[in-house]
Structure 1
């Protein structure tokens, strides 16, 4: 994060669809289902087109190794609800048009050393396990470039006590250490315990800054050796690694050094070509270490910018991507981007915030693809391992709107075929609501218990719970404010996640094509409250809200799903700036 905030079943699915395509039912009830969620109405009989099976995109690659299909568990004791009358908004989901398999690695998050030794916090650990992020990145953030994984309170002798900021002024280095057992920080060994307890995979960012500010004879080799020793200590527990954090930015340690203290001829200001050369040094050392410990799945990511550097010349190193890619060549296994979507440090409205996910996500992917094309390099997986919003001033980051934004980002990441993503971050600091944390940091949030889950937690929890193993095409007519993301389950159900960006409730009819519909559909409705309008700190799940001033219902796992009959149409109300997570039964 920027320092400003410290911060298997493919054959089975096709076979199922082919079996369904042979089914014909001329009954009136089935014709009704066809018009409102069943399939194609073709002269009184249903003809179902089987789904396609697209290849894994190069931008996803090995991150989908071990992909597994999902089985939807029918909700126990759902609550029957009355349907609203159909309106003008229609969402069409086509099960036959598969866009991509869904990577479980897109639901990740960032943990960090300033959360404290939270392994002993049962409330947080249970919520984190329920969230099932699958990927947890560590140790940062900008802290990665001043982090010494094997130290306790002392840096290496060749790490200076002072570092230069972008303007050339000296500041205390403020190093962080992996073996510091103080209660205000977080040890590396506890990070490994959290991965084990939450059934998550690690993503480790090694200290690149040390390759710049180190005062030894060969600082890049020294930093690479330190990283390789971490790979050895890790002993095969972690597959995904990356070299540095946002090193193209003038806020990062190592951006500027004193050349008089440097012994291998590095320039005062970092550039992409130097980083690319150093990346290969890191890659050689770390891959050798991985081979020594039998880590055959080891993959290493390279830092890239998320947009054209010409638009950020005051803070971003120009031509970073082109120069870094030229000197690193084919050495990276994947490419890393970060994005905070909204205008930096502006008091943005809900309309501005919720307009960003689609364009920003696609533009970012296109930028990396074009950078690789221009460099003459093959396309490889693209990972977004930090994302959130930068809006401040009205508690936007901790609001229901941030939760709706999270839903849209997840949908767009799947649609644009990213390989992996990790939201920033699990816990940060309150700062009057300018807090990226998914949870409050202990009890620093007024009116909230320790480790209180913010609204985005609930939106991300229900997204993963109600989204299938494949994204399928979906479209909306009748309103530009309604966004849809369709999915299918190998177990035979169809799903759709619906978002309402407007300030008014909307009634939506969902038609599902090429689908043999069952009898019921199930859904959860999430929306904000009336507090701190329009940025409510609360979220309601099927009408159930928090007992305190912020967050959501503690009973989120046991709240009954809403349910209605598919016959007569799948029709739901999406609350203003809210979402509906819906799954329809198949036959």
Structure 2
């Protein structure tokens, strides 16, 4: 959701000030090194061409200027979205109008595309669903890709259309009498058909809700399910990607990303029909969303770099910052610097309403600009993210391997007062001796500094800093095996999974075996090895999510890079002396009413205890009924009441609870009745 698009009058104020040069804080280093592990055997997603992205808005007078485009190019931006958030659903491209909103001069589509080309980026266009038609959208495709030959590949259908009042809150324009997800899905199909009839090569995106963000989980009156279920079920065969937005409102939410993206993928697989694996995920609006913690200062930048790296490592193909220029907001002091409460990458040179505070000169980069720039320097298109982790929570680590054999490591020190020394250890990679290439951005700095300091295994991180080191491999080796192809899983049970993969190409020596490694954070465990291209993993834990990679080894022990990751979740026993069915009966986005049906399939029971665990630390028990409910840590125990303790063979009982959550709500999957793992339906 755009946060200040209607502040048009403010956006026109150009009060220029000079950005004060920052002074380095006087801090003492903590002498205890923090261990950082980088594991080349634990491969994640490949860096996409379009990963570093941002939003343009037609109320921004500077949308099409060369200076703006050059700034974005220097930041490594590779995708630009137009015409800007909620304006998308009131904007009519042909006459460049947005009834009810402000359209700045020199912001028409051709001007936008000129800036896209100067930036060296691709375009993403949001077609007007709220007040437009499929015919209007198809005409835009014709103009863009047939008449002008712009080759615009990515086309969204609407923006945050669940905010049309259907769930009780309305900010998104929607002239349709029926504002349900079913009506939106019906139009997505019509738009896709009309637009692809003009250019079959384009990619169509549909709006989804973001896990654990309103109105995710809600079911509207008369709907057959949540927004995502209805839209994917009806339009899944017509779309090529889905759109999610994320304004977490805090700086420490990157840990939510893996579940957020995995749950979205599971919904796509469940509802979108055959071939749904083709459907990508784009985060077309993202901002830390925390003006109090810093939107233009270094804490916000560090959170942005962490989130960008985490989202891209989990396979999101575009992360669009909201936005390029936004305008001044609540002014605070954060980490020793003025924070302008501006959600833009670049200064709009606007002032507070009383004129007491003005932003720096137009197009001065704010701190998050350097987060995008650092991320683009760290993880380049074609690189593969690999697992990395630090031994303390105030240091964050990400890593990527490059096709030439180099490994890049991004280190983020979130401490405001302590310079942390770190020691880096590598698995599946041996670094060369000597000083690596080092890039650093510190609190208040107006550029990223380049140096050759420290070593591949030892660095010191300044307070509130982002540091990227690029490490060469120790020695050149004869051509190593190629990377195995994307693994797949079949016949997944509670304890086994059949894993197979396309063969790797041999290098200088023949391939003699493949190893299957499971990711456990930045550590891996080898599940087994085989001379062929399939392996059955055994002794797995029920109801557990596994991420694995395959590595090829040659006759001299040389090994390939890790395959793309495979993620699968084991089930529960196909047959057990008990069965449990968990239903989410009513969800409100931060909690839900859960119902648990327990069936005894074995010998008669007189007295029972049901146990399960919350999968994530942000989940908790609010209350429970029809049993004695207790929680210790993440473990929940329910003991029968006097009236429901007897369960003859085939008998059932129902209990219920209120579950609270403040992040993606991964439902409990494994339940034990009197110590026995039940079949979960």
Under TM normalisation by the shorter chain, which class is it? 0.5 to 0.7
What is the match of residue 306 of structure 2?
A: 408
Provide the rounded CA distance (Å) in 1 between the counterparts of 2:109 and 2:248: 30
- Offset at residue 579 of structure 1 (A): 1.9
Contact 1:301 1:336 in 2 (8 A): yes
1:150 to 79, 94, 99: 94
Match of 1:464 among 348, 354, 376: 376
Deviation by residue 1:262-319 (Cα, 9 ceiling, x = unmatched): 7xxx33xx1100000011111111011114xxxx3x1000000002556676999972
Query: Of 410, 415, 420, which aligns to 1:506?
Result: 420
Q: Determine the structure 2 residue equivalent to 1:174.
A: 100
1:24 matched to which residue of 2?
Answer: none
Among candidates 452, 455, 463, match of residue 562 of structure 1: 452
- Structure 1: distance between partners of 2:217 and 2:348: 32
CA–CA distance in structure 2, aligned partners of residues 239 and 6 of structure 1? 29
1:230 aligns with 2:151: no
Match of 2:439 in 1: 524
Which residue does 2:234 correspond to in 1? 327
Deviation at 1:526, TM superposition (A): 2.1
**Higher relative contact order by CA 8 Å / sep ≥ 6: 1 or 2?**
1
User: Do 1:406 and 1:459's aligned partners in 2 also have CA atoms closer than 8 Å?
Assistant: yes
Equivalent residue pairs, number: 421
Quick check: which one's strand share is greater? 2
Distance 1:446 1:104 in 2: 36
Q: 2:297 aligns with which of 399, 402, 421?
A: 399
User: What's 1:441 paired with?
Assistant: 348
Residue 447 of structure 1 and its aligned partner are, at CA, apart by 5.3
Distance in structure 2 (CA, Å) of the matches to 1:114 and 1:315 = 33
Unaligned runs of 5+ in 2: 8-28, 165-169, 331-339, 352-356, 476-681
Q: Which has more helix, going by share of residues?
A: 1
**Is the 8 Å Cα contact of residues 3 and 252 (structure 1) preserved in structure 2?**
no
- Show the counterpart of 2:251: 354
Q: 1:390 to 1:312 in 2, by over 3 A?
A: farther
For residues 385 and 236 of structure 2, the distance between their equivalents in structure 1, rounded to whole angstroms, comes to: 35
2-side partners of 1:339 and 1:303: how far apart? Answer: 13
Could you say if the C-alpha distance between residues 118 and 334 of structure 1 is closer, same or farther in structure 2, counting changes exceeding 3 Å? Answer: closer
CA separation of 1:458 and 1:273: change in aligned 2, threshold 3 A: same
Q: RMSD value over aligned CA atoms?
A: 2.7
1:283-432 alignment, distance < 5 Å: 283-291=192-200, 296=201, 298-308=202-212, 319-342=226-249, 353-359=250-256, 361-375=257-271, 377=273, 378-379=276-277, 380-393=279-292, 396-432=294-330
Equivalent residue, structure 2, for 1:13:
none
The aligned runs of 1:201-220 (5 Å cut-off) are 201-211=122-132
Aligned to 1:161: none
Task: Tell me if structure 1 keeps the 8 A contact 2:243–2:281.
Answer: yes
Three-state SS of the structure 2 residue aligned to 1:280 is helix
Structure 1: unaligned runs, 5 residues or longer:
8-83, 156-172, 212-222, 343-352, 529-538, 541-551
What is the CA distance between 1:186 and its match in structure 2?
A: 1.1
The one-character-per-residue Cα deviations of 1:463-505 (angstroms, maximum 9, x if unpaired) are 2113354344334353122211111122232111011233332
Identify the match of residue 197 of structure 1 among 110, 113, 118.
Answer: 118
Provide, for residues 157-216 of structure 1, a one-character-per-residue CA deviation record: whole Å limited to 9, x for no partner.
xxxxxxxxxxxxxxxx41566xxxx53x511111010111111100000100015xxxxx
**1: CA distance between counterparts of 2:272 and 2:368?**
39
TM-score by length of 2: 0.58
Task: Tell me whether 1:496 sits opposite 2:417 in the alignment.
Answer: no
Q: 2:458 aligns with which of 571, 579, 586?
A: 571
Equivalent residue for 1:136? 80
Distance in 2 (alpha carbons) for counterparts of 1:482 and 1:252? 38
- TM-score w.r.t. the length of structure 1 is 0.66
Distance 1:427 1:522, change over 3 A: same
Pair 306,572 (structure 1): closer, same or farther in 2 beyond 3 Å = same
Q: 1:325 to 1:447 in 2, by over 3 A?
A: closer
Out of 119, 144, 158, the position equivalent to 1:244 is: 158
